[in-house]
Amino acid sequence: MAKIAVVYWSGTGNTEKMAETFLEEVKAKGCEGELFFANEFSADNLGDFDGFAFGCPAMGNEALEDGEFEPMFEEVETKLEDKPVTIFGSYEWNDGEWMDIWQDRCKDNGINLAADGVIAYDDPDDEALDRVRALADSLVEKL
């Protein structure tokens, strides 16, 4: 059975809600999944999983959270081999450009993105959570 790590950082609970929805969908599709807060995950965990979902909200001027998420992601992003990855997160200001920047960074580093990243404005509504479920389905299909 394929195993997926869902790794996220959340300050307000919005990205956490997306991460929990992602994990529920992964399990509904018959995969194993484990939820990690960003400071609980490192490159040492990579060998235990077949795929990864990373979630981080936009912070400051359209950037990843730099206290815990960015250092963790920087450590793992070049060590993911060809395992499938998805990215997601929420934002409350600007226009969500941080996701385009993050997605380009992933592509530049050769990360095997299973689908385009998913964003939600503020507290994810039902439509946003449906996009998260579809993102989870995309990851499961790549395993």
Domain range annotation of the chain: 3-141
As a whole number, mean pLDDT of residues 15-40 equals 98
CA 87 vs CA 2, 10, 102: distances in Å = 18, 14, 8
pLDDT at 61: 81
Give the pLDDT confidence score for residue 17 in this predicted structure: 98
| pTM, to two decimals | 0.97
Query: In this structure, which amino acid lies at residue 88?
Result: F
| R_g over Cα of the chain | 13
Q: Does domain 3-141 have CATH number 3.10.20.90?
A: no
